A and B are shown apart, each in its own frame.
Chain A
Amino acid sequence: MASLKKSIRSAGNGVFIGLCFIATVLALAVLTVILWTLVVKGAGGVNLHVFTMSTPASGSEGGLLNAIVGSIIMCSIGMVIAVLFGVLAGTWLAEYGRNHWYAETVRFVNDILLSAPSVLVGLVVFEFLVVPFHGASALAGSVALALVAVPIITRTTEDVLKLQPSALRESGVALGTPLWTTIRQVLWKSAGAGILTGGLLAFARISGETAPLIFTAGGNQFFSLKLDHEMASLPTVIFNFALSAYDDLVRLAWTASLIVAVAVLAANILARTITRERRP
C-alpha cells in the first residue's frame, strides 16, 4: 500500500517535471521561431549603409542611422528621468513611507501606471507637451518613454530595498550615520544589482515602444540631433515601413526589428555580467 502510494507520488512528480520541461521548451521554441524570422527577413539588409545613412525614400539607397541615434538619445533621456524619479520614489516607499496611507496610495497608483496602456501615455503627453509647444519633439518623446519606465523602476527599487536585511539599516544607525547616507552608501549599493536589473527591464520595454512616440516625437526622415524637433526612432521606422507597399522599405523594417532585438539581447547579457561581478 505504502509503496503504491509512493509510486503514484513519484509518477505524479515525473509528470510535473515533464510538464515544466515542456513549458520551457515551448517558450524557447517561440523565441527561436521569432528570432529566426527576424534573421531570415532582416539579416540580408544589414550592411554598412544601415549604420552610416539615414532612412531612404523607396528606391533610394539608405540606412537607419537617424533612427538608431534617435532611439539611443530618447531612451537615454527617458531613462535618466525615470531612474531619477523611480529610484527616489521607490526609496521613499521602502524606507520612509512604508505602511503609511499615503505610501499605500502611491503604491497603488504605481501599479496602475505599470498597467497604463502606452498609447494613452502618448496621448496625454501630446496634450500637455506637444500642443502647447506647437510641435512634436524628441524631448516630449523622452518624457513619454520616461512615464512608461518610471513605474517599473519604482516597483523594482522598492521590492529590492525591502529584501535588504534590516541589520544593514541598524548598523548604519549604530555607527551614528545619517539615514540618507546609509541609504546611499549601504542600501543602494547592496541593492544596486537588483535596481540595475529593473532598469534594464524598463529599458528593454521602452526601446521597443511605438505607441507613445507616434504622437510625441513623431518621426524624421533626416538625421537630427535637435531635442526640440521631431526625431526618428527604430520603432516608429518599423511602424512606418512595415506597412509600406515597397519591398525595399519592408526589408529595412525587418532589419530595424533585428537591430532592436539584438540590442536588447546585448543589454541583457551586459546587465548579467555586471550583476555577476558586483555580487560578492
Chain B
Amino acid sequence: MLKTIMAVAACATLALGAGSAAQATDISGAGATFPAPVYAKWAETYKAQTGTAVNYQAIGSGGGIKQIKAKTVEFGATDKPLKADELAASGLFQFPTVMGGVVPVINVPGVGPGQVRLTGALLGAIYLGEIKKWNDPHITAINKGVNLPGLPITVVHRSDGSGTSFVYTNYLALKNATWKAKVGASDSVEWPAGIGGKGNDGVAAVVKQTIGSIGYVEYAYAKQNHMTYTKLQAAAGGFVDPTAANFAAAASHGQWSAAQGFYLLLLDQPGANSWPITAATFILVYKQQPNAAVGSTILKFFDWAYKQGDPQAAQLDYVPLPANVKALVRKAWLDVKGPDGKPIYVSH
C-alpha cells in the first residue's frame, strides 16, 4: 500500500514538474496586508485582460521590506515608507499606490457611530492609561450632550507588528508629547496599557467583545464591520468623520513633490475636512532592475492600476491617489533602469 502511494505521488510529481516549464513569466510581490484586497482585485482583472499574473502575498510591511532586500520577491510593499537615505543605501525605489485611513473604534453602550469626539492628545492620554474612565472630565468637556457612562476604558492595540500601528503611533507621538517621550512610534511598541488583538480583525473582535473598549483599525474594517467609530479633531480645529471624501481631502494637501523618495505620512494635514490619520501604502522595487522584462511588467501593472483601478479601489473602501501625484510617480519611474541603463518603462 505504502509503495503504491509513493509510486503514485512520485509519478504525479514528475508529471507536474515536466508540465510546469511551459507557462509564462509571472510577477511575485509580498508585503503589507492593508492593500492586499485591492492588489488582489487589480491582479485578477489584469490577468483576465492581459494574461499576466501578478501574485501578491500579504505577509506584513516588515516582511515586504525584508523580502525585497533578500531579493526573494520582485517587488515589496509596505505601509511604513522607507526614508530617502535607507532607500539609497539599499538601492530601492519607492512609490505610493493607494490611500486609506486609520479609525478609532469604540464599544460604549448607548453611543453610536460618530457621536463621540476625540482629539489626538486625548487618544494619546487614553492609550497611555492616564485617562481611565469614559466620563473623565477631559472627554466630557468636548462631548456635551453625549451620555458617557462611568465605565473603565479598556485599551485595545495590535499585538503583531503592523503598518497600521506605525501610522497610529506616529499620530499619537505627533499630538501627545508624553507619548512621544515615553513610548515613541514604530510598527510595534511597548504598549503602556491594554490588551492586544492579532490583525485588524483581532482588534475588531476584541473591541466588539469588550464593553468600554477602544481600538484602532483600518477604515475598511470599521466600515465593513459596522463598528462605532469616533470623530477626530482635524488640524484646522473642527471635528471630522472618517469618510473616503475626508481621506481624499487630507491627501490633496500632501506635499508629495517635496517628499524625497515619496516618504510622506499624511498625518494632521491642513484643511477643514482632512481626516488626521490618513496614510498611503507603498511599493518597493530595485532602482537597477536585473531583468528588464520583469521590471517593466511591474511598472506596467501599476500604471494600468493608476489608469483603470480607481473604481475598484473605491469599491473596496480605498482612496485613489490624486491625478497630480500619479503624474509625479510616472515621472519618477524614469529613474528605474534596466541592465542597459535606460528607463525600463515609459508611461504613455
Contacts and interface: CB of A to CB of B under 8 A. Distances in A.
> Does B associate with A?
yes
Interface of A: 56-60, 73, 76-77, 79-80, 83-84, 87, 130-131, 134-136, 188, 192, 195-196, 199, 214, 218-222, 224-230, 240, 242-247, 249, 274, 278
A57 B41 contact: yes
Contacts of B224: 245-247
Contacts of A130: 72
Interface of B: 1-2, 5-6, 9-10, 12-13, 16-17, 19-20, 23, 26, 28, 30, 36-38, 40-44, 47, 53, 55-59, 70-73, 198-202, 218, 220-221, 223-225, 315-316
Contacts of A222: 26, 43, 47, 53, 55
Nearest to A203: B5
B16 A73 contact: yes
B278 to A, nearest CB: 18
Given A57-B38, A76-B9, A83-B2, 6 more contacts: A57-B37, A221-B40, A226-B23, A230-B55, A243-B199, A245-B220
Given A60-B44, A196-B2, A226-B23, A244 B37 contact: yes
A131 B72 contact: yes
Contacts of B37: 57-58, 244-246, 249
A76 B2 contact: no
A99 B9 CA distance: 35
Contacts of A244: 37, 201
A195 B1 CA distance: 11
8 contacts: A57-B43, A59-B316, A134-B70, A192-B2, A221-B55, A222-B43, A222-B55, A225-B16
Contacts of B16: 73, 225, 227
Nearest to B26: A229
Interface centre among B41, B44, B221, B223 (most CB of A within 10 A): B44
Given A192-B1, A245-B218, A76 B13 contact: yes
Given A76-B9, A135-B28, A246-B224, A221 B200 contact: no
The 9 closest A-B pairs by CB, nearest first: A57-B41, A57-B40, A243-B201, A226-B20, A243-B199, A245-B224, A76-B9, A245-B221, A245-B220
Given A56-B44, A222-B47, A230 B28 contact: yes
A245 B20 contact: no
Contacts of B23: 224, 226
Contacts of A76: 9, 12-13
A195 B53 contact: no
B72 A136 contact: yes
Given A83-B2, A229-B26, A230-B57, A242 B201 contact: yes
Contact of B9 (A58, A77, A220, A249): A77
